[in-house]
């Protein structure tokens, strides 16, 4: 057998460079931090994070807006063409968007099967091979005119297909559903508001920017039962039996 050649590594004088810590953070850390903040902590103006947008757009391409439900595992597999972060992560995202899980005030996915409950740690969701999903009717407003050059498209991670940078939603979705995100040095927690009150407030604000938003947008609205208690005119006789 031929003898292995000995290799030597030349160490140059400038192999180790001195740099101010502030310059290192600005050059290396800040771009990473901003990327994580934009992708994870703060939703875009359409109200979605990239993982939500990739999933819903995949279901749109699968004709699940008008077609019958399909197995969740089918959706997860197709979504990996846009989101390479693993099937478990994609399915967890899908679960949160379903009507069955109850996490959203306005669910985007019509579901069949056990998707657990957002308010219970003991009620775990079933495996994707057992559950079925399709896009909910409200997604007609999410994908309205998407084929009419209303939003920009970019290549996916391997340049094999394109995906939208935003979804052309026709209602203020960013406030209609709750959003929670944690990133580098920043976090966001956006509560949900009643869709009818949001639309009424938006219309009034377009007509007159000086209006008092609290007159029509009274308080947050949640998908679970809750009471909104204020300091005005509150007593036992006025306590509601339940409020959604």
Backbone angles phi, psi at 10, to 5 degrees: -85, 125
* CA atoms of 158 and 182, how far apart (whole Å): 27
What would the two tokens of residue 23 be?
Answer: 């310059």
Q: What is the distance of C-alpha 201 from the center of its chain?
A: 24
Concatenate the DSSP letters of all residues of 146-214 into one string: TTTT-S-EEE-TTSSSEEESS---SS-HHHHS-EEEE-SS-EEEE----HHHHHHHHHHHHH-TTS-GG
What is the torsion angle, in degrees rounded to the nearest 10, for the CA atoms of residue 193, residue 197, residue 198 and residue 202? -160
Let me know: does 188 contact 204? Beta carbons within 8 Å: no
DSSP lists the bridge partners of residue 190 as: 179
* CA atoms of 125 and 121, how far apart (whole Å): 10
End-to-end CA gap in the chain: 78
State yes or no: is 130 an active-site residue: yes
Let me know: does 168 contact 144? Beta carbons within 8 Å: yes
The one catalytic residue among 29, 32, 119, 130: 130
User: Which residues are annotated as catalytic?
Assistant: 130
């Amino acid at each position: 057998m031929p003898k292995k050649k000995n290799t030597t590594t030349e160490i140059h004088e400038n192999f180790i460079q001195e740099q101010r810590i502030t310059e290192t953070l600005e050059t290396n850390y800040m771009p990473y931090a901003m990327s994580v903040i934009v992708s994870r902590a703060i939703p875009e103006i359409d109200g979605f994070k990239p993982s939500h947008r990739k999933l819903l757009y995949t279901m749109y391409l699968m004709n699940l807006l008008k077609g019958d439900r399909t197995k969740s595992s089918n959706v997860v597999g197709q979504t990996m063409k846009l989101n390479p972060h693993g099937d478990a992560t994609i399915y967890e995202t899908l679960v949160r968007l379903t009507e069955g899980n109850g996490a959203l005030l306005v669910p985007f996915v019509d579901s069949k099967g056990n998707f657990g409950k957002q308010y219970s740690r003991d009620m775990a969701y079933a495996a994707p091979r057992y559950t079925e999903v399709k896009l909910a009717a409200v997604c007609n407003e999410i994908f309205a005119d998407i084929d009419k050059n209303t939003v920009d498209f970019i290549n996916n991670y391997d340049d094999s297909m394109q995906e939208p940078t935003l979804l052309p939603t026709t209602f203020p979705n960013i406030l209609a559903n709750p959003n929670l995100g944690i990133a580098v040095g920043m976090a966001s927690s956006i509560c949900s508001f009643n869709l009818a009150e949001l639309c009424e407030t938006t219309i009034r604000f377009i007509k007159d920017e000086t209006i008092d938003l609290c007159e029509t947008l009274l308080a947050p609205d949640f998908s679970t039962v809750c009471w909104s208690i204020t300091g005005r005119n509150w007593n036992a006789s006025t306590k509601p039996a339940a409020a959604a």
